[in-house]
Structure 1
Amino acid sequence: MIKVLILEDDPMVAVLNKQYLKEVEGFELAATANSFHGALEVIKTEDIDLLLLDIFMAGKDGLELLQHIRKKNEWKVDVILVTAADDVDSIQTALRYGAIDYIIKPFEFERFNQALTTYKEKYHWLKKQNSFKQEELDQKILYQNKKKHTSLPKGLTRNTLQVIVNAILEKGEEPFSTEEIAEKVQISRVSVRKYIKFLKEIGLLGERMTYGSVGRPVYLYVNKELTKSTLQHFF
Structure 2
Amino acid sequence: MINVLIVEDDPMVGELNKRYLSQIEGFQLKGIASSFQSALHILGEHHIDLILLDIYMPGKNGLELLTELRAQNEAVDVIVISAASELDVIKKTLRYGAVDYLIKPFEFERFQTALSDYRRKQKVYSTHRNMSQKELDAELFQKKEATEKVQLPKGLTKSTLKLIWSSIQSFENESFTTEDLAKHTEISQVSIRKYLKFLEDIQVLNVEMAYGTIGRPVFQYNVNTGNLN
The equivalent of 1:77 in structure 2 is: 76
| CA distance 1:196–1:55, shift in 2 (3 Å) | same
How many residue pairs match? The answer is: 165
Distance 1:103 1:41 in 2: 25
1:1-235 to 2 correspondence within 5 Å? 1-73=1-73, 75-145=74-144, 147-148=146-147, 193-198=188-193
Distance (Å, rounded) in 2 between the aligned partners of 1:200 and 1:101: 24
Structure 2 CA distance for partners of 1:34 and 1:45, relative to 1, 3 Å: same
Matched residue type, 2:146: K
Q: Which runs of 5+ in 1 are unaligned?
A: 151-161, 166-189, 203-235
CA RMSD, aligned part only?
A: 2.7
- For the residue of structure 1 that corresponds to 2:188, the secondary structure is helix
Q: What's the offset of the Cα at 1:61?
A: 0.2
2:8 is matched by which residue type in structure 1?
E
State the alpha-carbon separation in 2 of the partners of residues 101 and 38 from structure 1: 23
Provide the rounded CA distance (Å) in 2 between the counterparts of 1:20 and 1:199.
Answer: 25
Name the SS for the 2:143 alignment partner: coil
Distance of aligned partners of 1:92 and 1:198 in 2 relative to their CA distance in 1, 3 Å threshold: farther
Q: Secondary structure at the match of 1:130?
A: coil
SS at match of 2:16: helix
State the one-letter code of the partner of 1:56: Y
1:193-215 per-residue CA deviation (whole Å, 9 max, x = no partner) reads 3233456888xxxxxxxxxxxxx
Q: From the superposition, tell whether residues 131 and 59 of structure 1 become closer, same or farther in structure 2 (CA, over 3 Å).
A: same
Query: Which has the higher Rg, Structure 1 or Structure 2?
Result: 1
Partners of 1:95 and 1:44 lie apart in 2 by: 24
State the SS of the aligned residue for 2:60: coil
Give runs of ≥4 in structure 1 deviating > 4 Å: 198-202
Change (3 A) 1:40 1:200: farther
Provide the rounded CA distance (Å) in 1 between the counterparts of 2:93 and 2:111. 17
Aligned partners of 2:116 and 2:11: how far apart in 1?
A: 25
* TM-score, normalising length: structure 1: 0.64
State the distance in 1 between where 2:141 and 2:41 align. 32
